Amino acid sequence: MKYLVLLAVLAVVYGLWRNSQRRAAPPPMQARPAAPPAIPEPMLRCAHCGVHLPQSQALLKDGRSYCCEAHQRQG
């Protein structure tokens, strides 16, 4: 009976030791690079039709923004 208790204690200690070893090792899934966070882009309003569009897609002329070349010419 004494050896049974000793065996149980050793099994628990071994289990805890294995758990700590697994936690110490770096998880392989975290090596994957995360997607870059979306940067909020300022929205501009077309001076001709009033549609809102991201700054990267806007056409700028004389300090005004336009949604397309046609509105840029008309504006």
* Distance of alpha carbon 64 from alpha carbon 62, whole angstroms: 5
Size of the site for Zn ion (CB under 5 A): 5
| Minimum gap (Å) between residue 63 Cβ and Zn ion | 16
- Count of positions (residues) in the chain: 75
CB atoms within 10 A of CB 61: 14
* Interacting positions 4-63 with Zn ion (CB under 5 A): 46, 48-49
Closer of 19 and 74 to Zn ion (Cβ): 74
Interacting residue ranges for Zn ion, rule: CB under 5 A: 46, 48-49, 67, 71
